[in-house]
Amino acid sequence: MNVLNITDQLTLVPEPQLDPEALAQNAQDAVAALIAAGTAPNTARCYRGALSYWSAWFQARYGQTLSHAPVPPAVAVQFVLDHLARPLAEGGWAQMLPPTIDAALVAAKIKARPGPLSYNTICHRLAVLAKWHRIHDWDNPCEAPALKALVREARKAQSRHGVVVRQKTALLLEPLQALLATCTDGTRGQRDRALLLLAWSGGGRRRSEVVGLQVTDVRRLDAETWLYALGATKTDLGGTRREKPLRGAAAHALSAWLELAPATEGPLFRRVYRGGNVGTAGLSADQVARIVQRRAQLAGLDGDWAAHSLRSGFVTEAGRQGVPLGDVMAMTEHRSVSTVMGYFQAGSLLDSRATTLLDNTSGLEADLTPDENER
């Protein structure tokens, strides 16, 4: 059969003809719905928040509604200048956003507090703007050379003036043990111990992955080993189940939790109410962060702790103990080597001989003893 003549074999019902150069509106809506359905809930919430901020700022700054049209590169450049702190010749830092607009955004609860945004937040807002343009097949203002040069040089300027891009404190083995030592408060402590050990020992799981685990996702392999299965994650949206091992203390903690709060279905980690009663509702992603912060506070640990501390801590500790990078990435499921290398290298250097050259040099103490005339 000639493919070109296939329509001769069809009985066609009259339908509106489509434009081959553009998607119909219902098709565009279908694409948007599929993209939304495939986006992790936490990511979707961040996107909505960022786009809401873009819309409010654009309305306040330009007196226009952020419509269904691409944003000019000049607007993206202005956004960066409005929100990124820059050093002043006379000292101090300033932003270009007028104070009245800044106050209005705060009053409308669009902005948390007055003043500049962090470099990371600005980059995230630009990334969301870029994704919004890619979804609609518009020219991406974030690819404009002027904007890319501004962001690159702004990062250098902040670094030169002592502004450090903040990272959450990595939870290494010793602080992890300190957190676990606080998990003595009955049912809640048992749950938190199992959660912390699974998230850390199980490959530095993201908080969304931890709260997404169901009871049916775990199975005991032997007395010392459990397996837990991941489905769709931030970096693997295919949904193929991939099993990861839990061994030793992490396996024992999971066994203790499931014996204390047995269930055949539902979330693996559930809420604990007064009296140690375990409910059926699962934890939220924010509650994982609060568990880490609360346990760190109980342990008396200083640092900027969050759920990501578990993930960065696992990678850093693995580097510290000399675990091959490939094995680490197989557990964490990082796709980018550059993303994981910063933590891994920091860990590998902690016990490196290169950091203890002074301690290993015999006789150097005598050479460093001040001369009598120099005392």
DSSP string, 139-176: --GGG-HHHHHHHHHHHHHHHHTT-PPP-PPP--HHHH
* Average pLDDT estimate for 70-80: 92
* Average pLDDT estimate for 150-157: 84
State if pTM tops 0.85. Answer: no
Residue 238 to residues 233, 242, 265: CA-CA distances in angstroms? 8, 11, 23
Domain range for 155 is: 25-160
| Cα–Cα distance for residue pair 354/222, rounded to 1 Å | 41
Q: What is the CATH number of the domain that holds 257?
A: 1.10.443.10
- For position 367, what pLDDT does the model report? 54
128 and 87 housed in the same domain: yes
131 and 207 housed in the same domain: no
Q: Which residue has the higher pLDDT, 35 or 240?
A: 240
* Average pLDDT estimate for 308-313: 93
115 and 201 housed in the same domain: no
* Average pLDDT estimate for 66-72: 84
230 and 303 housed in the same domain: yes
87 and 121 housed in the same domain: yes
- For position 369, what pLDDT does the model report? 55
Q: Answer whether residue 369 is part of any domain.
A: no
Q: What is the CATH number of the domain that holds 103?
A: 1.10.150
Contact 313, 292 (CB under 8 A): no
196 and 345 housed in the same domain: yes
295 and 224 housed in the same domain: yes
The mean pLDDT of the chain is 82
The lowest-confidence range among 56-60, 116-120, 166-170, 357-361 is: 357-361
Contact 195, 202 (CB under 8 A): no
Total domains in the fold of the chain: 2
| Cα–Cα distance for residue pair 42/31, rounded to 1 Å | 20
Strands 86-87 and 93-94: antiparallel
186 and 329 housed in the same domain: yes
Contact 251, 263 (CB under 8 A): no
* Average pLDDT estimate for 181-203: 96
Would you place residue 313 in the very low, low, confident or very high pLDDT band (cuts 50, 70, 90)?
very high
- For position 165, what pLDDT does the model report? 56
> Could you read off the pLDDT of 284-305 as tens digits, one per residue?
989 999 999 999 999 999 999 9
- For position 260, what pLDDT does the model report? 95
312 and 339 housed in the same domain: yes
Residue type, 97: L
Strands 225-230 and 218-222: antiparallel
Torsion 275-280-283-284 (CA) sign: negative
| Cα–Cα distance for residue pair 251/245, rounded to 1 Å | 9
Q: Answer whether residue 18 is part of any domain.
A: no
